């Protein structure tokens, strides 16, 4: 998949402004000459963020050329040179940190997703992300999840109806709320999150499109599947790499994992520059 260039441009422009790239006091000391650079990945990973890296340098200079040796979404081993660059030294230095920040974050998201997605290969179960993303980078992180083999949950509050515990607390009637939601938004998915088997029974009577099992154990999720065989169930909360397969084995159709985007640990990339 190719990311929407509008989001990439906006993400990069915001990041370059934040970093004061155009007013780099240190790069201003560098004579105006051409240079070469190489981006190296220091650990095993899934490469993700190529469009953001290219845009980071493109916005600083049209004369910077990039040559990638690894494709977006491909696995790489430690100490692999993933990209060679050539162009004006000042602009290469101005864009270095922003480009590497996108690369380390999005590759981390894709890498973590790939690790979990591989654990689900034997099951007919979708791995989904959540809205627990870094502020301002939701589109980029959800793109990275897909590069890693995961699927996107709703991207925003405007995309689907999801009745959670705080909605339950103030809604007078769940069935009436779902009926109203279908009337107002006939093309939107209707989802209900439940915290107990009793709530599951109430939700099933209201007939949403999907029921989310919040912090159910695998044993509880299996019981929920037995009680509710005709509505897709989604396990959410308390899911990690050690118990992911146990949840998939219960028969749930979907598993959403907030850690895909909120608990990422940056992949180690570096860029080295020399006269060209």
CA–CA dist 244, 255 (Å, integer): 8
Name the pTM for this structure. Answer: 0.94
Active-site position among 119, 131, 132, 189 = 132
Q: What local confidence, expressed as pLDDT, does residue 238 receive?
A: 86
SS3 69: coil
Q: Render each residue's pLDDT in the chain as its tens digit; 276 residues.
A: 799 999 999 999 999 999 999 999 999 998 889 999 999 999 999 999 999 999 999 999 999 999 999 999 999 999 999 999 999 999 999 999 999 999 999 999 999 999 999 999 999 999 999 999 999 999 999 999 999 999 999 999 999 999 998 998 898 888 899 899 999 999 999 999 999 999 999 999 999 999 999 999 999 999 999 999 999 999 999 899 999 999 999 999 999 999 999 999 999 999 999 987
Active-site position among 11, 96, 193, 234 = 193
Widest distance between CA atoms in the chain: 72
Active-site position among 97, 138, 182, 262 = 97
Residue 189 a catalytic site member: no
Nearest C-alpha neighbor of 11 from the set 91, 73, 131, 99: 99
Residue 250, classified by CB atoms within 10 Å of its CB into exposed (0-12), middle (13-18) or buried (19+), is buried
Residue 193 a catalytic site member: yes
Pair 145, 137: CB distance under 8 Å: no
* Residue 273 host element (H or E): strand 269-275
Extract the tokens encoding 170.
Answer: 């103030």
Phi-psi region of 237 (alpha: psi -120 to 50; beta: other; left: phi over 0): left
Active-site position among 19, 195, 209, 214 = 214
Residue 79 a catalytic site member: no
Residue 262 a catalytic site member: no
Angle between helix axes 89-119 and 50-58 (nearest 10 degrees) is: 170
Residue 132 a catalytic site member: yes
Active-site position among 9, 164, 182, 207 = 164
């Amino acid at each position: 998949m190719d990311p929407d260039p509008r989001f990439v441009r906006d993400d990069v422009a915001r990041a370059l402004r934040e970093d004061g790239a155009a007013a780099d006091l240190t790069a201003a000391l560098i004579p105006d000459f051409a240079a070469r650079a190489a981006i190296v990945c220091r650990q095993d990973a899934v490469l993700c963020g190529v469009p953001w890296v290219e845009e980071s340098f493109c916005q600083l200079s049209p004369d910077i050329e990039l040559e990638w040796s690894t494709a977006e979404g491909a696995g790489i081993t430690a100490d692999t040179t993933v990209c060679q660059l050539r162009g004006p030294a000042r602009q290469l230095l101005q864009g270095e940190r922003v480009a590497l920040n996108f690369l380390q974050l999005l590759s981390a998201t894709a890498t973590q997703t790939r690790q979990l997605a591989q654990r689900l290969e034997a099951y007919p179960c979708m791995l989904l992300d959540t809205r627990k993303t870094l502020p301002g980078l939701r589109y980029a992180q959800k793109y990275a999840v897909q590069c890693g083999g995961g699927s996107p949950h709703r991207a925003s509050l405007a995309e689907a109806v999801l009745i959670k515990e705080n909605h339950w607390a103030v809604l007078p009637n769940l069935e009436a709320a779902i009926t109203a939601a279908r009337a107002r938004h006939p093309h939107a998915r209707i989802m209900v999150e439940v915290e107990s088997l009793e709530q599951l029974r109430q939700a099933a009577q209201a007939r949403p499109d999907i029921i989310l099992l919040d912090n159910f154990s695998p044993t509880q999720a299996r019981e929920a599947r037995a009680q509710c065989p005709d509505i897709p169930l989604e396990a959410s909360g308390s899911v990690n790499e050690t118990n992911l397969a146990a949840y998939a084995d219960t028969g749930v159709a979907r598993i959403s994992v907030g850690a895909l985007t909120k608990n990422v640990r940056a992949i180690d990339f570096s860029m080295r520059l020399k006269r060209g």
